């Protein structure tokens, strides 16, 4: 398959890219500042350009999304807007615009996260955005057959503990390679409307 991978340069993105290429897939990595293709997917015009440049695709997968972490009492309307744009709206638009660019057997795999169900202090905006992604996956799945729409919900990955570990006290991390297997399952499988939890 020919797969567009948004966030390919990140920790999780690198593990997903390796898992997919090891299985013989062609992966086109997308990043905001580098990659096979460069695009800011928080901008609908950039998403349109991305699809125009990518050429024929069988699947789209997302491994990254920006969120603001700040105590609830300190979160501003702009913080919530930035988080929804960076984590939720960007992914929703990749599906909205991408449906016309993928074949009937095509699939989308989005990313949410453990904060949907296991919130942490200063993570309210991220929890809300993750919940929006998961609700969208279930709704989009009933409107897009035979195209499929799923999400992967990872916990904190071991490789990111130096940066994010303090935010997740008592939450057991998993290797990025284990999270990558959920992407393989979503892309190569037959299910739709699923959230694959890797906790």
Label each residue of 117-162 as H, E or C: CCCCCCCHHHHHHHHHHHHHHHHHHCCCCCCEEEEEEECCEHHHHH
The per-residue pLDDT for range 50-75, each reduced to its tens digit, is 999 999 999 999 999 999 999 999 99
pLDDT for the residue numbered 5: 98
Name residues whose C-beta falls within 8 Å of residue 122's C-beta, 6 or more positions apart in sequence: 69, 70, 71, 72, 167
49: left (phi over 0), alpha (psi -120 to 50) or beta: alpha
Supply 134's token pair: 């998961």
* Residue 154 φ then ψ, to 5°: -90, 155
The per-residue pLDDT for range 141-194, each reduced to its tens digit, is 999 999 999 999 999 999 999 988 888 888 999 999 999 999 999 999 999 999
pLDDT for the residue numbered 101: 97
| pTM (2 d.p.) | 0.96
Confidence category of residue 119, pLDDT binned at 50, 70, 90: very high
Task: Tell me whether the omega of the peptide bond preceding residue 146 falls within 30 degrees of 0, making it cis.
Answer: yes
pLDDT for the residue numbered 170: 87
Res. 11: pLDDT tops 90 = yes
pLDDT for the residue numbered 105: 96
């Amino acid at each position: 398959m020919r797969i567009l991978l948004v966030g390919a340069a990140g920790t999780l993105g690198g593990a997903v890219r390796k898992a997919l290429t090891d299985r013989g897939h062609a992966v086109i990595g997308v990043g905001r500042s580098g990659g096979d293709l460069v695009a800011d997917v928080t901008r609908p015009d950039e998403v349109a350009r991305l699809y125009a440049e990518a050429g024929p695709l069988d699947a789209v997968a997302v491994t990254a999304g920006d969120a603001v972490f700040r105590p609830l009492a300190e979160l501003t309307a702009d913080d919530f807007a930035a988080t929804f744009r960076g984590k939720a709206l960007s992914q929703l638009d990749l599906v909205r615009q991408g449906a016309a660019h993928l074949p009937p057997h095509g699939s989308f795999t989005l990313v949410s996260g453990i904060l949907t169900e296991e919130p942490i202090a200063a993570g309210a905006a991220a929890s809300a955005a993750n919940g929006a992604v998961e609700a969208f996956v279930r709704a989009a799945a009933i409107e897009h057959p035979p195209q499929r729409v799923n999400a992967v919900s990872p916990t904190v990955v071991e490789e990111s503990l130096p940066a994010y570990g303090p935010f997740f006290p008592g939450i057991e991390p998993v290797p990025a390679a284990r999270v990558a297997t959920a992407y393989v399952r979503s892309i190569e499988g037959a299910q739709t409307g699923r959230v694959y939890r890797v906790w």
